[in-house]
Amino acid sequence: MPSTGDTLHPAKAAPPLNIPAGNAVRVKVIDSTSRIKAPVAFFMGPTIAGHPHLNVPAFSFLIEQKSSSRKILFDLGLRKDWQSHPPAVQAIISEPGWEMSIEKNVAEILQENGVDVAGGAIEAVIWSHWHFDHTGDVTTFPHGTKLITGHGVRDAFLPGYPQNPSSPLFEADFAGREHVEIDFDSADTVQVGSFRAVDFFNDGSFYILDAPGHALGHVCGLARVTSTKEGDVEDTFIFMGADTCHHGGEFRPSEYMPLPAEIRPSPFVKKYPSSCPGHIFEAIHPIKKGTEPYYHIHDGLPHSKELADISCERMQQFDIAENVFVIIAHDDSILDPSVGITTFPRGDLKNWKAENHANKVRWTFLKDFTQAVEEVGY
């Protein structure tokens, strides 16, 4: 986090995260090959000139417990035959402004790169939530692979389609498979920052976080990728934000992380090749305030706007931490060549801090607002 002197406004101190000690896991971010074009106005507002659509990926994460080699997945992106989705989903994605493409299911990507999916190498798939761009195609995994969801999915949507014609989920994804719902009210939970959490491996290496609001049963993930307990210099983490936000401008800047006076690397390289002044992006902020996000979640979109806003603020408290790298599911900045993140299968995220990935990603979303900046004369 830049010091207060490096920002346009004073920063509010975030509450301590107080993450319990634990071991580390290996985390690899998977480019699921999903590409989604969707109207910004469907998700957030107000309108900002030159940014009518989101053009985004949908990430999956491969998480491996080092001591046992147990492997799980967090989210699956789109399914390759997305055109076959139930009518409840097609009613949304057939609207004007939506486009989708995908080359491979996540199971194919893994199998082709040495992960024996067919042989049961993946213990479990965790859906951050039940929306179509996260659920993938669970039938591409053997029945021994568990499906883990947030609480309420079973009662709300099962049986799935086609047995229940109005369900957005496929019954085939659940058939013959163990389905585990995480009920944070009855499960053994710990407090991680402001989130209730379940310690998945019981060693402090990966937590499933209760992050309600966007959708029924919405969860996030927190993976420890270096550990002082294992001899590393510090504990560092990957925060898998799922759809707590859909764009960097929904949770940045914040009162914990104001807009910087100088933004480096520059999101506006056409005019400012290496770094650019922060005030030009404050000038196009909808309320001209560098301590508030550019966008806000629309009232009609989330399952609960009140809870969605709370979860967003809780994620902002992690985003300020120097040892936490927040990655939301649809952040195209992760694939920006200037950031230099290595995706599966080539490398993991253990060295994200040494390679400065979080700082490179943090303000890259501002590139979407350069037309607005030009229109006001900067």
Q: Which residue in this structure is represented by tokens 């992106």?
A: 77
Q: How far is CA 2 from CA 6, 263, 294, 319, 322, in A?
A: 6, 10, 19, 12, 10
Residue-level pLDDT at 333 = 95
Spacing of C-alpha 57 from chain mean position: 11
Burial 233-272 (b: 16+ CB within 10 A, else e): eebbbbbbbbbbbbbbbbbbbbbbbbbbbbbebbbbeeeb
Average pLDDT by stretches of 10, the chain with 378 residues? 62 93 98 97 96 97 96 98 96 94 98 97 98 98 98 97 98 98 92 97 98 97 98 98 98 96 94 95 95 92 93 97 98 93 96 96 97 92
Pair 163, 106: CB distance under 8 Å: no
Distance CA 221, CA 66 (A): 17
Cα 16 off chain centre by = 22
Gap between the Cα atoms of 31 and 16, Å rounded: 32
In terms of phi and psi (left: phi > 0; alpha: psi -120 to 50; beta: otherwise), the region of 41 is alpha
Which residue, among 269, 378, 289, 375, has the nearest Cα to 49 in the 3D structure? Answer: 375
Reported in sequence order, the residue ranges of 75-200 that DSSP labels E, i.e. its strands, are 99-101, 122-126, 146-150, 179-182, 190-192, 195-199
Give me the pLDDT at residue 338, please: 87
Query: To 10 degrees, the CA torsion angle through 198, 202, 205, 209?
Result: 0
C-alpha gyration radius of the chain: 20
State whether the Cα torsion 305-306-307-308 is positive or negative.
positive
| Beta strands 236-242; 324-328: pairing state | parallel
User: Can you give the pTM of this predicted structure?
Assistant: 0.96
Q: What local confidence, expressed as pLDDT, does residue 150 receive?
A: 97
CA dihedral 190, 191, 193, 197 (to 10 degrees): 50
Q: Domains of the chain (ranges plus CATH)?
A: 24-375 (3.60.15.10)
Segment holding 356, helix H or strand E:
none
Q: What are phi and psi of 22, to 5 degrees?
A: 180, 180
Predicted pLDDT at 4: 39
Measured CA to CA, the distance from residue 326 to residue 80 in angstroms comes to: 27
